[in-house]
Structure 1
Amino acid sequence: MSRKRTGGCLCGAVRFELDGEPFLIGVCHCADCRKESGSAFTFYAKWPRAAFRVTGETRTYAGRDFCPACGARLFNLHAEDVELRVGSLDEAPTTIGSPSQEGWIKRRETWLAPIGGASQSTEDTPR
């Protein structure tokens, strides 16, 4: 039986389900991810698009889906996958594993150490 995960936005108007495990887990330090998250980096994971179901209305800005009611940033839908903001999962993200890649490390805060075992890209990480 495949593992199911659920999540959604802050107000609950958008909900989603995911089947199975992510095929990629990463962290991005780029300026866009900083601005969209309001944090020093974005923590994300990718699943095949077929493993993802969403209910509720979302809006999209520059490929980034969010809840129009509460503004919570949720995911990026691509043709073959969904890149999910791990903080939008209902359970603590520690159950999905550690990041395998870290992108835009030239913008990583000096007080953040590199993630052990993760590939390090100066700028973009491969999609």
Structure 2
Amino acid sequence: MTRIASCQCGQLSLTVEGEPALVSACNCTRCQKRSGSAFALSSRWNSNQVRDRSGKGLTYSRKGASGGNVLFEFCPVCGSTVSTSLELLPDVIGIPVGCFADPAFPAPKVAAWCESKLEWVRFPDGLLLLRDQTQPMDTR
């Protein structure tokens, strides 16, 4: 399966092949600010799944909560983040799920940084909830 992710204006896009390695919801306060939403929904792809990249992006780098650098590529025209990469996982590319604008996109399997999620957010049963990015939450 081929999927195309693009920014709002269409100037910057990525074409990926196959299924994402992971779909996750991040509740850290940095992702809340970056996405302007309650959490950021991201898909993770192995770099060899990216078949095409078109347009020109700008980048922003910051220290991630886990200590490594995170690089964000965004469109200089509309400002949409189209990809992320983690210094600690150089062969993985993150793409915000919303960039695909696909109602049939696979659901998340994991929600991370749940200790900072907004109190009213409820995730579906069966989703793995992590306290930070690695420690499961006690959901009893």
Q: Is the 8 A contact 1:22 1:96 kept in 2?
A: no
CA distance in 1, matches of 2:127, 2:121: 14
Structure 2 equivalent of residue 107 of structure 1:
116
TM-score if structure 2 supplies the norm length? 0.81
Match of 2:67 in 1: none
1:84 match:
95
Deviation of 1:97 (Å): 2.0
Say which is worse superposed, 26-35 or 46-55, in terms of deviation: 46-55
Match of 1:69 among 61, 72, 77: 77
User: TM-score of the superposition, structure 1-length normalised?
Assistant: 0.88
Shift of 1:124: 2.2
| % identical aligned pairs | 27
Question: Would you identify which runs of 4 or more consecutive aligned residues in structure 1 move more than 4 Å?
Answer: none
Aligned length: 122
- Segments of structure 1 that go 5 or more residues without pairing to the other structure are none
Q: Secondary structure at the match of 2:48?
A: helix
Report the equivalent of 1:35. Answer: 33
| Greater share of strand | 2
Alpha-carbon distance between aligned partners in 2 of 1:5 and 1:116, rounded to the nearest angstrom: 27
Choose from 101, 104, 119 the match for 2:128.
119
In structure 2, the gaps of 5 or more residues are: 62-70, 136-140
Deviation sequence 1:33-56 (CA, Å, 0-9, x none): 011111110001111111112111
